[in-house]
Chains A and B, each alone.
Chain A
Amino acid sequence: MLDSTFFIEKGIIILVVFAVTMIFAMYSTWAERKVAAFLQDRVGPNRAGFGGLLQPLADGLKLFSKEEFFPNTPNKFLFIVGPAIAMSTALMTSAVLPWGDKLVIFGKEVILQATDIDVALLYVFGVISVGVYGIMIGGWASNNKFSLMGAVRASSQMISYEVAMGLSIIALLMMTGTLSLKEISMQQSEWRWNVLYQPVSFLIFLICAFAETNRTPFDLAECESELIGGYHTEYSSMKMGFYLFAEYANMFISSAILSILFFGGYNYPGMQWMTENVGVNAANVLGIIALLVKICCFIFFYMWVRWTIPRFRYDQLMNLGWRILIPLAIINIMITGVCILAFK
């Protein structure tokens, strides 16, 4: 099994997944500006390249060439480690995402997933919760009261919403009976999408995903009116860029997980028919495209919500997390349990 082709195959998949994540994160920044502009009757970036398509490159160039500023902090090492943790955790999650079933290349079956571990979902949750450290360390090492307060707010928010997120998933897991994302995707073939069976679980997960990625209406981590900028007040140049980039990478990953868990992943109506009549490869390439389209829809939804709903107040945020979403998730678990017992 462990021959050289295995390593080459997995290496290529990892590189492609990495590149796709990066490109999506890059163009999310462009898309965010464009969507924001369109929702406000403006045009948006249109100078760099056609329709402003070179804007992310220009932004990157600018961030790399800007002056690097270090605050007078005793924790200079942690100050650098903060954005690195945020960025690497954002990119690590994509390793377990199933992009498709399989391709047949030169008579060899290639599984379209970097690694298919049985506890993929737990791995995702574990890595995401490490992301809190990136923000917390960054805010702490800045040696700035406002950054620290922003970091405390962000981390308490992310930790409280992780509880509700984990609970909302349990109802889904009781139904699917597995933690493997590949397995969950396969169970949803031909319109057996989980969102149809677990709408409440989906709603809770969606709200928590917004909070986990620090997106509006839960972007209390960055609030220019109260905390100057939040946990990244002291950051400049590409270290700042990494924090923002990590947010967009997280947005891509959470959109992918939402589509895989609730919207059938790479499945699309008629996939069975395609596999039998046209071929495995064509069916699966279409599957990858279907997954990417679902992801794009979710990313657009993130942006759409961002420019519609105002930011929460902090006590409202905590109230929603602890006193509404967590009980709701527990009730959902109980109802699911009863239903499973009743229909078995």
Chain B
Amino acid sequence: MSTSIQNISLSGRKKEVSNKEMTFWESLYLVAIVKGLMITIKHFFRKKVTIHYPEQTREMSPVYRGRHMLKRDEQGRENCTACGLCALSCPAEAITMKAAERKKGEEHLYREEKYAEIYEINMLRCIFCGLCEEACPKDAIYLTVSKELVPANYDREDFIFGKDKLVMPLEMAIANSKSVN
């Protein structure tokens, strides 16, 4: 049995194109227009898909990369030791930091002897690639924890996020430690 190449349909969805003349009623288009109007009016009463953003937020996927967060350990101490590997791995060069040495009496604040005195991410440069997260040896920086978008702003300076915006809130660390125990 031989079929010509024109008649083969691998997907099974092949349709013959027809150029047949329209009938009189079809050429008036009135029926088609009324059908179209019926379709659109159905959508008028359909459930809206809009999410009112600032009031409602959508469910993000577990691997969604939003704004960064510098994590604390289960005792509420900052993980970051200002090693600079995140800044080094950052292809957009968005991360800058300045290290400082931990003083006596600050052991409850920072986990190791060195910590980041200044830690800034320029959110206008950041491409949310997640390489900083991968480079971090201390499990300090994460993009997947906050599940938040970087909010809009009027000034360029407002997009440089310092430690005040990046470090995990203490309440969150406390809640985390409770869930671990």
Contacts and interface: CB of A to CB of B under 8 A. Distances in A.
29 contacts: A35-B44, A38-B43, A38-B44, A38-B48, A39-B40, A39-B41, A39-B44, A40-B43, A41-B43, A41-B46, A41-B48, A41-B49, A41-B50, A42-B48, A42-B49, A42-B50, A43-B50, A43-B52, A46-B52, A304-B37, A304-B40, A305-B37, A307-B40, A308-B33, A308-B37, A308-B39, A308-B40, A309-B33, A309-B36
A305 B36 CA distance: 9
Interface in A284-320: 304-305, 307-309
B47 interface: yes
Interface in A37-69: 38-43, 46
Q: Is the interface of A mostly helix, strand, loop or mixed?
A: loop
Contact of A39 (B43, B49, B52): B43
Contacts of A305: 37
B27 to A, nearest CB: 10
A308 B49 contact: no
A6 B36 CA distance: 50
Contacts of A46: 52
Given A304-B41, A308-B36, A308-B37, A41 B52 contact: no
A32 to B, nearest CB: 14
Contacts, number: 34
Q: Is the interface of B mostly helix, strand, loop or mixed?
A: helix
Nearest to B42: A39
Interface in B9-46: 33, 36-37, 39-41, 43-44, 46
Contacts of B36: 308-309
Given A304-B40, A304-B41, 8 more contacts: A39-B41, A39-B43, A39-B44, A41-B43, A41-B47, A41-B49, A46-B52, A309-B36
A305 B32 CA distance: 12
A307 B42 CA distance: 13
Contacts of B48: 38, 41-43
A40 B41 CA distance: 10
A291 B67 CA distance: 56
Contacts of A307: 40
A40 B50 CA distance: 10
A18 B50 CA distance: 37
Interface in B117-140: none
Interface in A1-60: 35, 38-43, 46
Contacts of A42: 48-50
Nearest to B47: A41
Interface in A87-108: none
Contacts of B40: 39, 304, 307-308
A305 B43 CA distance: 13
B159 to A, nearest CB: 24
Interface string B151-177: 000000000000000000000000000
Nearest to A40: B43
A106 B46 CA distance: 50
A39 B44 CA distance: 4
Contacts of B52: 43, 46
A42 B43 CA distance: 10
B83 to A, nearest CB: 45
B152 to A, nearest CB: 15
A308 B40 CA distance: 6
A309 B35 CA distance: 11
Interface string B50-75: 10100000000000000000000000
Nearest 5 CB-CB pairs, A to B? A43-B50, A308-B40, A308-B36, A38-B44, A39-B40
B50 to A, nearest CB: 4
Contacts of B41: 39, 304
A210 B90 CA distance: 58
A38 B49 CA distance: 10
A327 B66 CA distance: 64
B39 to A, nearest CB: 8
A304 to B, nearest CB: 6
A235 B47 CA distance: 38
Nearest to B28: A324
Nearest to B37: A308
